[in-house]
Amino acid sequence: MDKLLERFLRYTRENTMADEGSSDSPSSERQRRFARMIANELREIGMKDVTLDDNGYIMATLPSTINDSKGIVGFIAHMDTSPDAPSENIKPLVHHNYNGNDIILNHDKGIILSVTDFPELKNYEGQTIITSDGTTLLGADDKAGMAEIITAMEILLAHPEKPHGKIRIAFTPDEEIGRGADRFDIERFGADIGYTVDGGKTGELEYENFNAALATITIRGRNVHPGTAKGAMINSIHLAKLIDSLLPSVERPEHTSGYDGFFHLYDLRGSVEETTMRYLIRDHDISLFNKRKALLENAVSKTAAEFSGAVIEISIKDQYFNMKEVIERNFFIVENAVKAYEKAGITADIKPVRGGTDGSRLSFMGLPCPNIFTGGHNYHGRYEFIPLESMHKAVEVIINISIQGTGKA
């Protein structure tokens, strides 16, 4: 576990935040620098066919140690971190033998990882907990997945007596801004099945995810001097508030769980003259997903009709779809993972992903790809944490799947 910890800490200190405003791939130069570092590390530990393409995708091979093919298994994680929280100057903290109480992340700023707010902390008493210093995210999403995959490969390389077929691994850029699979070369990757290592707490196993869309609404109002504004001013900020009020308030992320879908207004910027709103639209059910998109369009149309002097435009872009329909046709992949969990002493907790992962798009591209856990909690924020012991279990699962092969009958 010492090597796993060292590797993870080293990765988290690298700022690899994705840049939603860039059209490049990867979207940020910091990801490209990190990718070069990882590619060199893969060569150093003995991985073969290590490639880093112009778009920032890393691929590598662990050669087979057996003559009889077990099929080619792939493991995938993403390099970027979320733009939703600060990522500059990350200072990971290691809390050995956690005592079950609140964890002070930053004494000077009064930032505390509280057991009251996050009672699941109690489950890890006596373990090693890794956090940031509270001023940034930690980046376990998905530096933990990367560290776990590479550590598993290093262990298998050191133990050629462990029988396994050919293994392919890949690390992608820009998953956090919905572009992780945009330029993924399925044919060059060459795996029969894949697993993204991008989940949460120990035991999670996911093959259902949201259908997802991004809606951008631009409202152009009319600004005049407030002293003479009667009958002339159209305040685009108030129109934005009106549009949002036409959506069900109980269908926001903070009020939903399980299979509940939601509207998430995650960005609002504006002035009297012009306001931009950005919504994430999510639902596991494709029919409800389409109804959500229509409801938002109707809210825009109704507001535009009421305020004819305003110009309101909406653009909705589908991002990814529920991989359930692909995975259920290849359910042996899930059964294979369940066996690997059991061998590691873990009961699989099969649940829908309340989010997305590269695996959802890769599944529709021809690589069935459910999602396995990393061990992390509270992704995308300053209260993120991950137990080292959970990461070690993820390494065990990756090794078990590698030895089992595809598991296809």
Check residue 353 and give its pLDDT. 84
The residues that bridge with 78 in the sheet, in sequence order, are 172
| Fold annotation for 2-208+322-404 | Aminopeptidase (3.40.630)
Distance CA 98, CA 120 (A): 13
Side-chain half-sphere of 91: how many Cα atoms within 13 Å?
5
How many whole angstroms separate alpha carbon 363 and alpha carbon 74?
12
Specify whether the backbone of 123 is left (phi greater than 0), alpha (psi in -120 to 50) or beta. Answer: alpha
User: How many CA atoms does the CB half-sphere of 119 hold within 13 Å?
Assistant: 1
Mention the CATH class of domain 211-320: alpha beta
pTM of the model: 0.87
What CA–CA distance (Å, rounded) separates 48 from 34? 19
One DSSP character per residue, 169-237 reads EEEES-GGGT-TTTT--HHHH--SEEEEE---STTEEE----EEEEEEEEEE-B---GGG-TTT-B-HH
Q: Which two tokens stand for residue 109?
A: 């700023």
* Residue 299: CB atoms within 10 Å: 20
Closest C-alpha among 168, 2, 149, 144 to residue 74: 168
Q: Residue 130 and residue 8: Cα distance in Å, rounded?
A: 10
| Fold equal for 2-208+322-404 and 211-320 | no
| Angle between helix 332-343 and 388-404 (nearest 10) | 120
Q: What is the pLDDT of residue 149?
A: 98
> Is 8 within 8 Å of 130 (Cβ atoms)?
yes
Q: Check residue 280 and report its DSSP letter.
A: E
Surface-to-core class of residue 389, CB atoms within 10 Å of its CB (0-12 exposed, 13-18 middle, 19+ buried): middle
Strands of the 48-52 sheet, one edge to the other: 48-52, 58-62, 167-172, 73-78, 193-197, 371-372, 204-206, 349-350
Model pLDDT, residue 408: 64
Tokens of 332: 């042996």
Provide DSSP, 9-41: HHHHTS--B--TT--SSSSSHHHHHHHHHHHHH
Give the residue extent of every domain in the chain.
2-208+322-404, 211-320
Q: What is the pLDDT of residue 301?
A: 97
From first to last of the 409 residues of the chain, give the pLDDT tens digit.
899 999 999 999 999 999 988 999 999 999 999 999 999 999 999 999 999 999 999 999 999 998 867 789 999 999 999 998 889 999 999 999 999 999 999 999 999 999 999 999 999 999 999 999 999 999 999 999 999 999 999 999 999 999 999 999 999 999 998 889 999 999 999 999 999 999 999 999 999 999 999 999 999 999 999 999 999 999 999 999 999 999 999 999 999 999 999 999 999 999 999 999 999 999 999 999 999 999 999 999 999 999 989 999 999 999 889 999 899 999 999 999 999 999 999 999 998 888 777 888 899 999 999 999 999 999 999 999 999 999 999 999 999 999 998 876 5
Nearest to 392 by CA among 347, 357, 345: 345
Asked whether the beta carbons of 135 and 391 are under 8 A apart, the reply is no
Contact 382, 84 (CB under 8 A): no
Query: What radius of gyration, in Å, describes the C-alpha atoms of the chain?
Result: 23
The set of catalytic residues is: 80, 175
- Distance from C-alpha of 4 to C-alpha of 128, rounded to nearest angstrom: 12
